[in-house]
Chains A and B, each alone.
Chain A
Amino acid sequence: MKMSFWERITKIDRRIIYIILAVVIILPLILTFNLPGKVRAMPRTQNVFDHIEGIDPEGKRKALMLSVDFDPQSEPELKPQFEAVVRHAFARDIPVVVLTLNTRAPGICEEVLLRLSREHGKVNGEDYVFLGFGWPPVPVLLGMGRFIDRTFRTDYYGTPLNQLPMMDDIRNYDDVGLIITFTASTFYQTYIVYAYTPFNVPVATGVTSVSVADIYPYLGSEQLIGMLAGLKAAAEYEGLVKEKYFPDKPIFLRATQAMPALSAALIVILLFVIIGNIGFFATRRKK
């Protein structure tokens, strides 16, 4: 029996859709196609940037604490966010304390810190400290509110924290200007409950796009000062940092490069959804 056009459309092989999507993503990446204008920072991203701008390295030397709580599955969305924030902190000479609550994240942290510290001339123990993996989360978060050096006795490389010059001024959350947790899970809630609520330390989060809708209530209640939402927020943050601190320096901005491909893919998916729905209603009417 001969199928109508709309019947053929609704029964299209999914592998053809995969190929179309792959082509639509690969072409803008290869052709280094740029979208007109620039990626505009959303207020929730701008808030994180502005807060870090307010951590004054000339006044009391407050640190930026980055909790890298994602694993390789979420790396494409969250690693560019983490990189952009570290670059911002290095550009402003803010001490960076990095830790992780995920067993599969230490390798990611180490790779980013080594690469960016080389790029910006920063020294381990003086400009940044990598505390390593802490577990279980609740005692770690509560413990750091009192004494970081009793919660993590050594850094990731086994050096006692009292031998790291940067940690002389950073004893607990009183010396931390902002905590950002990069997570594909619900660690932002853990930080809200066990760091923000008892110790009143400002908390922000960097999350995958999937989690965004769940986080808006915490922005409305001002328990989070801001949020980096998915790959787009990473591109927004990369743009903010580059524009202010490295306008002429050639830096590879992974998320910014991905934006044309992301836009093209989303337009194609929108078309698929529209065509699929028209096909569904057209074939249903025929039946």
Chain B
Amino acid sequence: MNISTDPWVWIAAFLTLAIFSILYKDNPFYRVAEHLFLGLSVGYGIVIIWQNVLWPQAFRPLFVEGDWWVIIPIALGLLYFTRFIPKAGWLVRIPISIALGWGMGVGIPRGFQASIFRQMESTIVTTDMFAADRLWNITNGGIWAILILLGTLATLTYFFFSRKEKSFLKPVSNVGIVFIMIGFGATFGLTVMSRISLLIGRLQFLLRDWLGIIQM
């Protein structure tokens, strides 16, 4: 056993135990740790944004390097604060409209390309997927390609709400439910695994970094 002498490790261990104490019941230690985390996160975030974004990208170019053109984006950014001035509040529409227009112009074509066209393309079944060497390949094999195609069509049918109750789409949408349930099951299992991993991480910290009970 080789207990840590680093005061920061002791503080982290105390806060970890304080957060874990909620498992027993709500208590002041838990609330202190929770509020401390929130406050520190916001404070740390502000410092990082100043140090890594505002100073090097805006204020240093303006005041140190003499790049006067950065006044334009700085002024546009400052217009967001006009929201707090009732008479000048309408000015906030300028940066919002620029951000929205730019965002949509940049995002929509690429979003369609990446999230719709390529995804549709990957559901297309081709004859070379049935070659003997890749028939069972999990990413591009024929068997899985058919399964993905069936799953996609059945699931989309389930969300086609304007169908008639007794149409031929009903059995197809039932198959869609099966695919959706398998998806939920997989996600639930993965969520459990994720949460347990987080717990193991904290216990490793307590047992190794703090108490020194485990070494390698």
The residues of A with any CB-CB pair to B shorter than 8 Å are: 15, 18, 21-22, 25-26, 29-30, 32, 43, 73-77, 103-104, 106-107, 132-135, 138, 142, 152-154, 156, 158, 189, 192-194, 196-198, 208-210, 212-213, 217, 219-223, 230-232, 250, 252, 254, 257-258, 261-262, 265-266, 269
B107 surroundings in chain A (CB, below 8 A) = 138, 193
Interface residues on B, range: 35 or more
Instruction: Across the interface, name the chain B residue whose C-beta is closest to A214.
Output: B187
B133-169 interface with A by 8 A CB criterion: 138-140, 148
- Decide: B197 and A231 in contact? CB cutoff 8 A: yes
Q: Mark B170-209, 1 if CB is under 8 A from A, else 0.
A: 0000000000000100110011111011111111100100
Q: A30-B214, A32-B216, A208-B194 are in contact. Are A104 and B44 (CB under 8 A)?
A: yes
Q: Which residue of A lies closest to B12 (CB)?
A: A72
Q: Is the interface of A mostly helix, strand, loop or mixed?
A: helix
Q: Measured between alpha carbons, how far is A209 from B189 in the docked complex, in Å?
A: 9
User: Smallest CB–CB gap between A194 and chain B, Å?
Assistant: 6
Chain B facing A: main interface SS = helix
Whether A223 lies near B114 (C-beta < 8 A) is yes
Q: Can you name 30 A-B residue pairings with CB atoms under 8 Å?
A: A21-B196, A25-B196, A25-B200, A30-B213, A77-B201, A103-B45, A104-B41, A106-B52, A133-B52, A135-B53, A158-B56, A189-B114, A192-B114, A193-B114, A194-B110, A197-B110, A212-B190, A213-B183, A213-B190, A220-B139, A220-B148, A221-B119, A231-B193, A250-B216, A258-B197, A258-B200, A262-B197, A262-B200, A265-B196, A266-B193
